[in-house]
Amino acid sequence: MQTKLILLVEDNENDVLLMQRAFKKNHILNRVVVARDGVEALDYLFTTGFYEGKAAEPLPDLILLDLKLPKINGLEVLKRMRAEKRTKYIPVVVLTSSTEEQDIINSYDLGANGFVQKPMNFNEFVEAANRLGVYWLGVNRAVYPQ
């Protein structure tokens, strides 16, 4: 079975490291590609910019998407993804520090599959990573239209 790929779209280096450590602690050994802003995430997904002309990268099996990103925010990334057949059905879990109800509503309106507030400490990060990994990479069945 092929290892599933996670695209982590996160500009905060501490949160990137915490999530990677939490995955490791939970024995989630999937490949994780990190995009540090919205432009980089879209470039990866649509093989443009930095990724243009490179060997085709596989589409992620799960995207963990922060909302407050430089260049292009997470909601705009989600909107552009859902507008394209190739990326429309990739599971996206918004993983953000926002507690704003409007961010939750907007995320679901644009097609997010889940909304998780970032945990405040490492043990909570570990538990959140475990739950995300078990469900989205183990239980959930995704569709990949051509």
**Over the stretch 101-115, which tens digit does the pLDDT of each residue have?**
999 999 999 999 999
80-108 b/e (C-beta count within 10 Å ≥ 16 → b) = bbeeeeebebbbbbbbbebeeeebbebbe
CA distances from 116 to 2, 81, 99, 138 (A): 27, 19, 10, 18
Q: Are 32 and 45 in contact (CB under 8 A)?
A: no
Model confidence over 68-98: pLDDT tens digits? 999 999 999 999 999 999 899 999 999 988 8
Residue 126 pLDDT greater than 70, yes or no: yes
Q: Which 8-state DSSP code applies to residue 79?
A: H
Q: Between 30 and 102, name the one with better pLDDT.
A: 102
Average pLDDT, the chain: 88
* Cβ neighbours, 10 Å, residue 52: 9
Q: How confident is the model at residue 1 (pLDDT cuts 50, 70, 90)?
A: very low
The whole-model pTM stands at 0.89
| Strand ranges inside 73-126, DSSP E | 92-96, 114-117
Cβ count within 10 A of residue 35: 24
Q: Which residue has the higher pLDDT, 70 or 99?
A: 70
